[in-house]
């Protein structure tokens, strides 16, 4: 076929550009001049017309573009559904996998890659859940520690107010800082005595 349709032998990027120009209805003489300007020989409008109607050329490209457009439309539809339903990344990856596996021409390597993506998404989802649990536990621990601290402070305050010398220091003269320093010194003395 490529012997009768020489444009099929052009490099991939050039064939893509040629197909896009044909889709955009650029006239054959302009396409021929463009190719000649790029140093890719002289092509006649008849050869360009053959490429346009060839199953290996433009028609194959059009079919592939339709397939890609359908896939993009399905992906966009799925994306909208996922967003509207408030699904997570794992749900979307599973839908992508279902879509990919429904393709009759699916390459086994692509299928394996899709399954690996799902596995990674599941693993990431589990890690996220574990991290959420860790954060919740840390918050609970922090709250419990704060409550213990408040209880200990209140207990110490009651013990201090029961102590006659501590009350004298608190009710005595001096600035707030001086009173606090005197109370701390008194508490330190009590601790040393209790330990000694």
Residue 24 has a pLDDT of 94
pLDDT computed for residue 94 by the predictor: 67
Residue 51 CB: number of other CB atoms within 10 A?
25
The DSSP string of 128-169 is HHHHHHHHHHHHHHHHHHHHHHHHHHHHHHHHHHHSHHHHHH
Q: Provide the pLDDT for residue 101.
A: 67
Give percent above pLDDT 90 in the chain: 17
Q: Can you give the pLDDT at residue 1?
A: 41
3-state secondary structure of 44: coil
Alpha carbon distance 132, 139 (integer Å): 11
What is the Cα–Cα distance from 41 to 34, expressed in whole angstroms?
10
Q: In the structure encoding, which two tokens stand for residue 173, read together?
A: 């003269």
Q: Please check whether residue 31 is in contact with residue 21, taking contact to mean a CB–CB distance below 8 angstroms.
A: yes
- Cα dist from 45 to 7, 31, 40, 53, whole Å: 11, 8, 15, 12
Whole-number pLDDT of residue 192: 86
Residue 9 is classified by DSSP as: G
Per-residue pLDDT of the chain (196 residues; tens, 9 = 90+): 444 668 888 888 899 999 999 999 999 999 999 999 998 878 888 999 899 988 888 899 999 999 888 888 877 776 777 667 666 666 666 666 666 666 667 676 766 776 777 777 778 878 888 898 999 898 888 889 988 888 887 787 777 778 888 888 888 888 989 988 888 888 888 888 888 7
């Amino acid at each position: 076929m490529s012997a009768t349709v020489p444009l099929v032998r052009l490099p991939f990027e050039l064939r893509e550009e040629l197909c896009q120009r044909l889709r955009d209805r650029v006239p054959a003489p302009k396409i021929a001049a463009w190719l000649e300007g790029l140093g890719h020989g002289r092509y006649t409008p008849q050869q360009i017309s053959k490429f346009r109607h060839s199953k290996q050329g433009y028609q194959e490209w059009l079919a592939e573009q339709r397939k890609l457009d359908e896939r993009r439309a399905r992906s966009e539809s799925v994306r909208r559904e996922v967003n509207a339903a408030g699904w997570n990344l794992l749900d979307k990856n599973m839908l992508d996998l279902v879509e990919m596996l429904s393709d009759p021409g699916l390459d086994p390597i692509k299928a394996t890659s899709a399954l690996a993506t799902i596995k990674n998404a599941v693993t990431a989802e589990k890690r996220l859940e574990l991290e959420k649990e860790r954060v919740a536990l840390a918050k609970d621990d922090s709250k419990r520690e704060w409550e213990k601290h408040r209880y200990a402070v209140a207990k110490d305050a009651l013990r201090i107010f029961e102590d006659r010398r501590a009350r004298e220091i608190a009710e005595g003269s001096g600035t707030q800082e001086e009173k606090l320093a005197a109370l701390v010194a008194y508490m330190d003395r009590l601790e040393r005595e209790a330990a000694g």
